[in-house]
Structure 1
Amino acid sequence: MNYPQIASRVLNTPLLLEPAYARVFFSALGSRLNIAELKDEQGAIDMGQKLRVDARTYNKTRTNAWGEEEVIFQVVDGIALLDVKGTLAHKSGYLKPYSGMTGYDGIINRAAMMFAEPDVKGVLMDMHTPGGEVSGCFDTADRLRQMSQQAGKPIWSLACDSACSAGMALASAADRRLITQTGYVGSVGVVMAHASYEDYLEQEGIKVTLIHSGAHKVDGNPYEDLPKEVLSRFQFDTDALRQQFAELVARNLGMTSEAVLATEAAVFRGQAAIEVGFADGLVNGHEAAAEFSEYLSSQGRVTTLGVNRMTGTNPTPTAEAAPPAQAAAAAPATVDNAAAASAERTRVQGILQHAEAAGRGKMAEHLAFNTDLAVEQAGALLAAAPKEQAANLDASTALDKLMAAEEQPNVTAAASGNDKPNKAQAIASAWNAATGVKA
């Protein structure tokens, strides 16, 4: 009951509070300090605003092989928390994150349990991962979205504090992507490492003879430097996987693959991730489940999903409005709609007529109509993106040069049981089976 002491610590002194939270904080404290009216630069603050608290919480358990009760996942106010932590592995054999890694097999099995739980209204992927293996990644992203649609329950993701590379692929499957102010996402690219011990073995007087049948059987072996033709094929495979990765993210986020590729595998933190289209909203990580629950319980409220929209619990195209987390920090009640419409037209025209839009028409249209980027920000992305090229023009990128010289693979098409894999798919399949690839 030390209200005078509390007042001395929160009034007339600088605080490090997120603005929306500050409004709620002082609203809740107002009546205790006999404050009759609260205002900020946005106007009067509703004195009835409440602090978010976790509502009904329970743990879903099972009996393990030792007869002990083991927590499989937690449910907070109808939201099941799906932990995606550490390095992502194809088949870890564990249901939950273990020893610094999470298996795609565990993610799918836990998600299936969550969607089947009657009390679960939605699934929140709580992510802190730098990425991991390519094997199983894209299938897992597709399966998560499929399970969500079949169950009729939305799935959201939270970058708390990272969802990069393979983690970004999984996050893209979510209906809405939240990020903390220090969280970062992106890294839509592929990396492959080769270690050569040729010089070391020579110095040690060790000579390794590889006896093999098949010209490419020992491609990438560590006992010799990579021959140029092998390096070229590995580069081709890596570029093809990056293209497939970008198309997956672009399809799920409603972006163009050119816009995703233009990021050049960079990572984006907090607000920057929203501006580039990789996240939809900032949130305090401790309140993400509460925001999700509020959204599901507020029928008719509209939430912005980047270029996609959701209203109620069914994803459908609709008008745009502020998500629940931003309701407390909403704009003033009176808005000059005519001025806003004029400003938006000016922004769209500025992007479409930007000097860097020449030769990048499709990407310019996407940035103008499907994002809220300012003209300067859009111009910077356009400048970094490759220009659109006609089929008869010379290729400029390493991937284009390789593809121009050989039959172009359809790396995104799912092969049927009777189809023979094309060259790129055969290379990727053989190499992944032998060594695994990290993304």
Structure 2
Amino acid sequence: MKRQLLIAEFLSTPWALMPERMNAFASVLARWQAGISASDDVIAGVHADREARDNKRAQNTRAGGGAIAVIPMYGVVTQRGNMADDISGPGSVSTQRFSACLADALADDAVGQILIDIDSPGGSVYGVSELANEIMQARSSKPVIAIANSLAASAAYWVGCAASEFYVTPGGEVGSIGVWQAHQDYSAAMEEAGIKTTLISAGKYKTEGNPYAALDEDAQAFMQSRVNDYYQSFAKAVAKGRGVSIDAVRNGMGQGRVLGADAALAEGMVDGIMTFDEVIKKMQKSSKQGRTGASRLAQAQNELKILG
């Protein structure tokens, strides 16, 4: 029964995650429930994906160089990380750890610009709004650019929209603007197994939505209200980041679907289509122009002082 409680808790979390990933989650949750260990092939695949992720992180960080801090957002987004490493090959990324990396980049005088390198299907909504707000605030200190390289879906798209510029690779995808959660009713299975659970609680709604009974209308309405609240925050953040109305987000931008690069650009979901290297070159060029402009301004100020 401990596994069933874990599954119920997992599903009841509000997710800003690609719905297709539910299939992967469902298979792993079913394995957990049955007490079956992952096969050697699955474990080998997870390790291979993790190694590829680490290599990509190292390579892209080197490509950025000292003046451009590349902060990766790879895998399922969670508040504290690592809870989905055996569910998703790309692993997971913690919003708390990402926030710490962002703070380090802002405090480093050698860093002139920040690039958020995203390859994520999204994840839990917890901590995402706070991280997006931090990125918005960071833009006043240093340029913050984001790239979907090659997937920025749901919570990851939420984060990407907080950057001052947002790009997607030619073969990349963005979107999946929406929130979901689930409830599982184990009452029939438990009755068949001869198990009867009696809940003892205090507080009118304390046991609302428990997995030992069917979901009643009041509980479902409350769960829906939670999803609606997070969706409103999501849509509002996208609207602010992309400079459009909330209605434009709700009634366009895929309406929960993931869109390819061309369609996303047509919907105003990104600022352009570029490879990772092209974005790096664009940022480097911008940095050089900024330094040249600063040098010319300093020279002009010195000339004015001499004339004065």
Pair in the same fold by TM > 0.5: yes
- Tell me: higher relative CO, structure 1 or 2? Use CA pairs within 8 A at least 6 residues apart: 2
In the alignment, residue 126 of structure 2 is paired with which amino acid? Answer: S
The residue correspondences of 1:121-132 to structure 2 (distance < 5 A) are 121-132=112-123
CA shift, 1:144, in A, is 1.4
For 2:177, the equivalent position in structure 1 comes to 188
Gaps spanning 5+ residues in structure 2: where?
A: 1-57, 84-88, 295-308
Q: Is the 8 A contact 1:87 1:129 kept in 2?
A: yes
CA-CA distance at 1:286 after TM superposition? 3.2
* Structure (1/2) with the larger helix percentage: 2
1:266 deviates by 1.8
Shift of 1:227: 0.7
Q: How does 1:356-435 map to 2 (within 5 A)?
A: none
Per-residue CA deviations over 1:255-314 (Å, capped at 9, x if unaligned) read 10001011321211111111111101111233321222122323599xxxxxxxxxx89x
Structure 1: 5+ residue stretches without partners: 1-69, 302-311, 314-439
- 1:99 positional shift: 7.5
Aligned counterparts of 1:288 and 1:274: Cα–Cα separation in 2: 16
1:280 equivalent in alignment to 2:257: no
Residues 172 and 252 in structure 1, CA contact (< 8 A), matched pair in contact too: yes
Q: Is the 8 A contact 2:76 2:90 kept in 1?
A: no
* 1:419 alignment counterpart: none
TM-superposed CA distance for 1:103, in Å, is 0.6
2:209 aligned with 1:209, yes or no?
no
Question: SS at the partner of 1:298?
Answer: helix
- Give the Cα–Cα distance (whole angstroms) in 2 for the partners of residues 246 and 300 of structure 1: 37
Alignment of 1:142-161 (within 5 A): 142-149=133-140, 151=141, 153-161=142-150
Specify the SS of the correspondent of 2:77: strand
Match of 2:262 in 1: 271
SS at match of 1:123: strand
CA contact 1:93–1:106 (8 Å) conserved in 2: no
Larger-gyration structure (1/2): 1
- RMSD between aligned alpha carbons? 2.5
- Please name the residue that 1:85 is paired with: 74
* Residues 202/93 of structure 1: CA separation in 2 closer, same or farther (3 Å cut): closer
Residue type at the aligned position of 2:99 = I
Matched residue, 1:262: 251
Amino acid corresponding to residue 259 of structure 2 in structure 1: F
Q: 1:180, 1:284 within 8 Å by CA — same for their partners in 2?
A: yes
Match of 1:338 in 2: none
Deviation at 1:76, TM superposition (A): 2.1
Q: Deviations over 1:30-89 (max 9, x none)?
A: xxxxxxxxxxxxxxxxxxxxxxxxxxxxxxxxxxxxxxxx99x65426211100010111
**In the TM superposition, what whole-angstrom CA distance separates every residue of 1:367-406 from its partner, at most 9, and x where no partner exists?**
xxxxxxxxxxxxxxxxxxxxxxxxxxxxxxxxxxxxxxxx
Rounded Cα–Cα distance in structure 2 between residues aligned with 1:129 and 1:294: 28
Match of 1:406 in 2: none
1:76 lines up with 2:65 in the alignment: yes
In structure 1, the residue matched to 2:303 is none
Post-superposition, which runs of at least 4 consecutive aligned residues in structure 1 deviate over 4 A?
A: none
Of 271, 292, 298, 2:283 maps to: 292
Query: Identity over aligned residues, as a percent?
Result: 29
